[in-house]
Structure 1
Amino acid sequence: MASPERAAEPEIVTQSTEPALEHEQNAAVEQANTPTEIPYEVHSIFSPNNKKFIILTASTAAFFSPLSSNIYLPALNLLARDLHVSDSKINLTVTTYLIFQAISPLMVAGFSDNSGRRPAYIICFIFYVAANIGLALQNNYVALLILRCFQSAGSSGTVALCQGVVADIATSAERGKYVAYSSVSTILGPTLSPIIGGLLSQYLGWKAIFWFLTIFAVPIFILLMLFLPETCHKVVGNGSIPPTHFLNKSVMSYLIEKKLAKEGTPIDRAQQEALAKNTYWKFPNPLATLVVLFNKEAAFLMLYIGLLLAVHYLILSGIPSIYAATYNLNEIQIALVYIPYGFGSVVSAFTTGKLVDWNYRRHAKRLDFPLVLNRKLDLTDFPIERARLEVALPLLYFGSALIIVYGWLLTLNVSLAGPLILLFFIGWCIFAIYQVTAILVVDIYPDNPATATAANNLIRCLFSAGSTAVCVLMLQGIGRGWTYTLAALLFVALSPVLWVLIKFGPGWRRVIKESKGGKKLEGIWIILRSSGI
């Protein structure tokens, strides 16, 4: 491996220019003394502006999953009345949506990691747009229940796809700032969607919600179809290999091919044929995604992310009942309460990423590790867990203290300004922690980022659903102060899991890498061996 000093100059070419006219012995000596450098592989050929466009487009597509889930909630009473069913039956449409939100990415992610991001996006949006049109036209409870499942199946896979796109075009050294662009939509969704849903259902009726989603989705679908390039490395390498299947091609793909031809850069046809041969289309196997959970490091990390999202939804789910009872707010006013939390999340998105990248650079310089942007580096001997979690842990303890204070302020019925200010800082802390841990998930699984994100999504959905289910029961049973105090204390009590990852994570990753490279172990056996099972 090249030394760190030389790694900073990735485009080194050192070839002897002496004519081969010397006698055999001198030629052999010269060849032995000629230094050889293997340049680091360019991770992505896309320019920084192209990367921002790609990630913002993918992030906008991912916005539909949380948007569709929560925009529907203000209309539940109207739906129960118009369809002549009970509240429990209408709530069942929420439950089934969450179930498909957890399961669908398991299939979409594995498919996209092997066949490409674009075909997966196209399938997701066809399902999503068709389901929304059907929901806007139906007047039957059974149709509502079934179409909500299709709507969830179409939208939920886009979150895993978005994280896959980020990993395709951004290395660990620059991933922090790009994940900020990709993650902000998934946090804004739960914050803005109740406001949009409340306004639409109150003034235009519940069907307007689904027409709005259709009208919003169609232009994004067209944008994806025309301009989003294929980024999956198993299909296009670092972007320099034109895809062979028409579903993987976009306008940008043709522009890239034209640019390479103009620059006189030859296309590696042998690699193109090899990639085309290894790209396969088949019905995805969700069990391949579940294998990720047998990785000890991934399991610990994802369980803690699940707990984080449980606290997140415990706060959001408690807002309607608490603020209506304490401050006599109506539905529209309650929806506005979500804004400070969402604004704190947005601010966090564009500050935490820079902090994450700064800490990565700090550790790289300390260890003389190559700091090369847009180059794929081997992180086996780099403490990526420490570089990431050192940012998250202080925010974890600070955020937990704020959650405790928030709960007791609500118990004391203080001025509305107090809880709203705390919601801003709590949103900032929770999203910062989520952003850091989500980046670490992709760092651990750089070759299958969408698959890892889908497994993470499954745990998140299960914890979030459980938190939402017990929120009202806890508030009624032990009160606001103790509900949020217990949640914060549990969050702190399990934080040693992250310290364990810092200490043992690099060793666990090394075992998996050695198993793959040395004994050629494959599949679940590698994961089980690293976990000591």
Structure 2
Amino acid sequence: MLQAFGASSVIAIGAGTIADITHPAERGVYLGWYSLGWNLGPVVGPAIGGLLSQYLGWRWIFWTLTILATVHWFVLAFFLPETLRSLVGNGSGYANPTPLQWWRRRKQQQENPEKNQTASNPSTSTGTSLREMLLAPLQPLLYAKEKDVLILLIYYGIQYAACYSMTTSIPFVFSNFYGLNEALIGLTYLANGAGCIAGSIIQGKILNRDYRRMQKLFPVASSLGWANSELPLEYIRMRTIWIHALIFNILLVVYGWSLHVRAHLVIILGIQVVLGFTSQAIFNSIQTLLVDLFPDRSASITASNNIFRCLFGAVATTLVLPAIQLLGVGWAFTLISGILLLSRIPIFFELSYGPRWRSERAKRAER
């Protein structure tokens, strides 16, 4: 529980940092690489864990996690600067400086003391009251009251649950159906991981290209920003999502029945590659759109998305193995694909009414 508590906050902070330093026309690739990290972890981790457990014992899984976490902590503490505009302005400020920034600033002050005497130090306080600080952890839940956001959060959550159903069931089906040991089971996760990598990179480039194309077609609307209802932001970010969704739904059914008939492992792993590709493309599109809708509150909206996807993922993890044992692997994944298909329907409302809801939200914020 403590591990999840710490890891979830990192996801939100990372998305906020990327939104602080990127333009919407470049955001697709950046968020693609970033979201690849937290989505790739659950598929690469089992591969490493399987090898460690098979050859060194399960305790080395936790030793490895401790070593990696310590290394990453030092990298973040010493090299990751503050990017929040309210604290650092245009980036020249040094609020909450890293040791490297502190040393450079001290050196500049020693070399040119007169110039630094007139420089104002940025505020290290966000100006929030105690009440606001206590209510801050609940703020991500408030985004669900927005109709367009709720549709996206549920869509992302159910898609994530479907992916987790597949990855969670891998040890059970591959050990019982194919007789693989822990090391080989762990390596099978790499197929999904390869698809995730390809999907993230390619979809990120597509999102950037589509946004630049929108800027050329709607130059006036683009200059007015995300609040303008004439800007087809939802369509641009989700233009290709229906293709990935359709492929994922069909192949998830094929995947289940291929396992049912004990198809060759090459077929099973090949399907996993495509499932990883399409799911990561969907995740990248939705996450980028959510950040576009709340560019000044990207960390909060990412935290909201994280809450929903983890809740849906937890439900899927709990139910998938009982479903396979009760219905059989073929019908279990057919049922999951059917539920996922129903979750696609509200996206049509997002595309039709999203710009209007976005504009109404901007007008409410101005009052």
Higher radius of gyration, 1 or 2: 1
Correspondence for 2:23 among 167, 171, 195: 171
Aligned residue number for residue 437 of structure 1: 286
Structure 1 residues 378 and 254, CA, compared in 2 at 3 Å: closer, same or farther? farther
Q: Does 1:190 align with 2:42?
A: yes
Give runs of aligned pairs for residues 282-301 of structure 1, distance below 5 A.
283-285=133-135, 286-301=137-152
Whole-angstrom distance in 2 between the partners of 1:493 and 1:345: 24
Whole-angstrom distance in 2 between the partners of 1:326 and 1:309: 25
Q: CA deviation at 1:459?
A: 0.8
1:237-286 CA distance string (max 9 Å, x none): 2323332xxx3445247658989x99xx999967x65x556445854422
1:348-381 CA distance string (max 9 Å, x none): 1111100011111122212224879xxxx62112
Residue pair 2:53, 2:183 contacting (<8 A) in 1 also:
no
Q: CA deviation at 1:162?
A: 1.1
Residue pair 2:47, 2:190 contacting (<8 A) in 1 also:
no
Give runs of aligned pairs for residues 128-207 of structure 1, distance below 5 A.
149-207=1-59
Higher RCO structure (Cα 8 Å, ≥6 apart): 2
Q: CA deviation at 1:154?
A: 2.1
Q: Does 1:328 align with 2:179?
A: yes
Residue pair 2:82, 2:97 contacting (<8 A) in 1 also:
yes
Q: Secondary structure of the residue that 1:395 maps to in structure 2? A: helix
Whole-angstrom distance in 2 between the partners of 1:401 and 1:251: 51
TM-score (norm 2): 0.89
Q: CA deviation at 1:472?
A: 1.1
Q: Does 1:224 align with 2:76?
A: yes
Give runs of aligned pairs for residues 517-532 of structure 1, distance below 5 A.
517=366, 519=367
Identity %: 32
Aligned residue number for residue 99 of structure 1: none
Residue pair 2:79, 2:100 contacting (<8 A) in 1 also:
yes
Structure 1 residues 238 and 298, CA, compared in 2 at 3 Å: closer, same or farther? farther
Q: Which amino acid aligns with 1:354?
A: K
Q: CA deviation at 1:202?
A: 3.6
Residue pair 2:54, 2:183 contacting (<8 A) in 1 also:
no
> Higher mean Cα deviation, 152-161 or 173-182?
152-161
1:188-232 CA distance string (max 9 Å, x none): 211121222233334333332222222212222111111111011
Whole-angstrom distance in 2 between the partners of 1:294 and 1:269: 43
Give runs of aligned pairs for residues 443-454 of structure 1, distance below 5 A.
443-454=292-303
Residue pair 1:230, 1:248 contacting (<8 A) in 2 also:
yes
1:90-124 CA distance string (max 9 Å, x none): xxxxxxxxxxxxxxxxxxxxxxxxxxxxxxxxxxx
Aligned residue number for residue 314 of structure 2: 465
Correspondence for 2:227 among 354, 359, 380: 380
Q: Which amino acid aligns with 1:199?
A: L
Residue pair 2:87, 2:125 contacting (<8 A) in 1 also:
no
Residue pair 1:310, 1:464 contacting (<8 A) in 2 also:
yes
Whole-angstrom distance in 1 between the partners of 2:176 and 2:117: 66
Residue pair 1:184, 1:349 contacting (<8 A) in 2 also:
yes
> Higher mean Cα deviation, 497-506 or 206-215?
206-215
Q: Does 1:233 align with 2:93?
A: no
Residue pair 1:389, 1:498 contacting (<8 A) in 2 also:
no
Long gaps (5+) in structure 1: 1-148, 520-533
Whole-angstrom distance in 1 between the partners of 2:56 and 2:285: 40
More helix by share: 2
Residue pair 1:324, 1:330 contacting (<8 A) in 2 also:
yes
Q: Secondary structure of the residue that 2:180 maps to in structure 1? A: coil
> Higher mean Cα deviation, 233-242 or 165-174?
233-242
Whole-angstrom distance in 2 between the partners of 1:453 and 1:470: 26
RMSD: 2.7
Whole-angstrom distance in 1 between the partners of 2:216 and 2:365: 29
Structure 1 residues 466 and 219, CA, compared in 2 at 3 Å: closer, same or farther? same
Whole-angstrom distance in 1 between the partners of 2:199 and 2:2: 33
Aligned residue number for residue 357 of structure 2: 508
Residue pair 1:361, 1:371 contacting (<8 A) in 2 also:
no
Q: Which amino acid aligns with 2:152?
A: L
Aligned residue number for residue 214 of structure 2: 363
Residue pair 1:228, 1:250 contacting (<8 A) in 2 also:
no
Whole-angstrom distance in 1 between the partners of 2:336 and 2:118: 55
Q: CA deviation at 1:516?
A: 1.7
Aligned length: 360
Q: Secondary structure of the residue that 1:238 maps to in structure 2? A: coil
